[in-house]
Amino acid sequence: MIKKRIMAPGPTEVPPEVLAAGGMPILHHRTPEFRAIFAEVSEKIKYVFQTSQPVLTLAAGGTGGMEAIVVNLSAPGEKVLVISAGVFGERWAKIAEGLERKVVRISVPYGKAVTTDEIKKAIDANPDAVLLCGTLSETSTGVEHPIQEIAAITKASRTLFAVDAISGLAACKLKMDEWSIDAVVSGTQKGLMMPPGLALIALSERAWVAVKAKKSPKFYWSFESALAKLTEEKLPDTPWTPNVSLVRQLQASLLLIHAEGIENIWARHELLAKATQAAMQALGLTLFAEHPSVSVTSVQSPEGIDSGDIVKKMRAEWGISIVGGQGSMLGKIFRIGHLGYCDRTDVLMTVAALECVLSELGVPITTGEGVKAAQSIFLKS
């Protein structure tokens, strides 16, 4: 028997309570029963975003949510700044280009975080940019960007700041209102510990002003349509049929998140990240990210080893899904997710299995050393 386990940076594992909610019968979406659930969920999710603003629920993947932000906060031909520091930063650029915005990239070498100097320069050089798009946790490189510092810069400018927190929400520290972020988008298959399929979006007050003023072709993605239904007099609703099962699962997930507490969730992710990083370093491996995200640890593949072989052996022999590198990082790095429904034991088992795999691939490591380093972090905490 080889059990299947996910230690990827999304989709992540889903707690049994949330899985069970997915197997519950369908409620008709216009019934008071369903709308009461949707009301509860729409209220409780604000805490996860650390916002008092309404959080919109779209039936779409995270990329759809990113597209919705571009559609609602910029118009064709307008200038959009993008922090391109990995596959997901670059996705903002491709969306905006696909929708005929004028894209200016702030290009950052993969593995590094953008600096506030680079942001300042870009904002100063492009006063006509209506939107700056960035990534909280760049899953492809394992880097966490200095969102709070960037928001302090955009706050003082006329450029709105949109953050892809798809793999960052409920993992990396994020205080939307306090930090003055203008738009945050997340998906469900990461820190929210659910299957993929919903995009969750919150906007600042000034972003809502922009949405209402913006002349941009839209229908399905219209934030105004979503807001009108969410703030209906009776109970909140959605303009199009919502994903009923996922909303039920979000209800179950938010129960768990509120019980654990967002500060504790951030601390748990920090601890798991530290232990994983320490384990990799104890095995003589090199971390790829200069400013590692607490949701994923990216590691350079040992010399002469294709990281794809490590990933395949982890899955085939140990049942553990970690992931390799994307794009230009293909074969060169592997990434361990410690995100969402993930605990210390998950990290220990993954490091232990990885040691076996590396050993079998002929990498000169001492088995047990990685586990020992992780244990040490846990025992000290």
Which residue in 153, 163, 101 sits closest to 123, CA to CA? 153
Strands 296-300 and 333-337: antiparallel
Under a CB-based contact definition with an 8 Å cutoff, are residues 19 and 34 in contact?
Answer: no
Q: Which residues bind a copy of itself (CB under 8 A)?
A: 4, 6, 8, 10-14, 19-20, 22-31, 33, 59-64, 67, 76, 94-95, 98-100, 187, 189, 195-197, 217-220, 222, 240-246, 315, 321, 323
- Name the CA radius of gyration of the chain, rounded: 21
DSSP 284-345: T--BS-SSB-SSEEEEEPPTT--HHHHHHHHHHHH-EE-B---GGGTTTEEEEE--SS--HH
Structural tokens at position 96: 């905006």
> What's the N-to-C CA distance of the chain in angstroms?
34
44 burial level (CB within 10 Å; 0-12, 13-18, 19+):
middle
Structural tokens at position 71: 């559609």
Helix (H) or strand (E) holding 106: strand 102-107
Placement of tokens 């000169």 in the chain: 364
DSSP-based three-state secondary structure for 5: strand
C-alpha 90: how far from chain center: 15
- CA distances to 49, 87, 133, 138, 295 from 340, rounded to whole Å, are 15, 21, 24, 16, 8
Structural tokens at position 42: 């729409």
